[in-house]
Chain A
Amino acid sequence: MSNLHVDSVMKGFGTKQVLTDIYISCKQGEIIGLLGRNGSGKSTLLKIIFGSLEADGKFIKVGNKIINGLYDNRRLISYLPQDHFLPSHAAVSSLIKLMCNNESASLLKNNDLIKKILNKKCTQLSGGERRILEIMLIIHSESQFVLMDEPFNGVAPNYRNVIKQMIMNQSMSKGFIITDHDYRNILDISTRTILLHDGGTKEIFDQEDLKFWGYLSNAVEIR
């Protein structure tokens, strides 16, 4: 089984050092929940792992392959950004063909949600439909590791459960690193939880750890 190894990641913006010597590893079969306050560097870290943002220093490896940039991560790492990213002029069916292999494509085309929008263009979709399509495409892409930045944002609660189930199903053959401000969704599905705090990572084992590091106030109870 492959392993995503992220080590020695450093990134600063101006005089502010956002990430200092980050270490994360993710195996296929794992769902890592990445939590952190606003501005803690969650999105920055995911972009650096994906290769779309330059770091001041990094060492990223999938299996034995060292990932230096976007060109190296092909079919190894996929990334769901926070904002809509699908080409607006493209038809849903052609996007599925471009992002998924035959097996995943037929799985998606038979999905009740996708069936309704299969022949539409992205511009004809509502914001929520577009987000669900983006999430499903990324989850079912060929990559071994999937990075998801706020996947549940803008998605109706009933579809959140569908997406969580899909992530859990796909995690049998893939590794996931997921961040979201609704930490309950993350805690529901993550096999391991990591908190970004003061530029470093803290392994979280229970709700007391989240309170200890100041992510939750003492008044908040986790389900």
Chain B
Amino acid sequence: MKKFQNTLRIIGGLWLFYRKMAIPALVISILFGLLIHLISGHFFFKMAGIAFIISSILLQYFVYEVINSKEYYFYYNIGLSKHLLWGASLLVSFLIGLTFIRL
């Protein structure tokens, strides 16, 4: 039971870290995809997917490494290292981006 609660807490911590830049990245990618669609009339989802992957990486760097680097201490205190936070976030961003690209 305790192990299950700890796993939930790790997932909750990863989600808290990721969601801060996920919604802005999604908005940017949809706007970018729309713009490309308006210009060329092609590749809406593909361009949105690529824009999502790139914007989420850039936002993650800007939000956590430049503006809110102190927030890492919260995640360290719940046992999440920077490598784990970045690794999990990049993986999720790639999966979401790839889903867009394959639509």
Any chain B CB within 8 A of the CB of A200? no
Contact segment of B28-36, B46-54, B72-80, B90-98: B72-80
How many residues on chain B are close to A (CB under 8 Å)?
19
Interface residues on A, range: 20 to 34
Any chain B CB within 8 A of the CB of A84? yes
Chain B residue at minimal CB-CB distance from A52:
B76
Any chain B CB within 8 A of the CB of A97? yes
Which among B9, B70, B77 has the highest number of chain A CB atoms within 10 Å?
A: B77
Contact between chains at A81 and B70 (CB < 8 Å): yes
Given contacts A74-B79, A88-B68, contact A79 B20 (CB under 8 A): no
Using a CB–CB cutoff of 8 Å, the interface residues on chain A facing chain B are 50-52, 69-71, 74-75, 78-79, 81, 83-90, 94-95, 97-99, 101-102, 138, 141
Task: Provide a sorted-by-A list of 12 A–B residue pairs whose CB atoms are within 8 angstroms.
Answer: A51-B76, A85-B74, A86-B74, A87-B68, A89-B19, A89-B20, A90-B16, A95-B74, A97-B9, A98-B13, A99-B78, A138-B77
Using a CB–CB cutoff of 8 Å, the interface residues on chain B facing chain A are 5, 9, 12-13, 16-17, 19-20, 68, 70-74, 76-79, 81
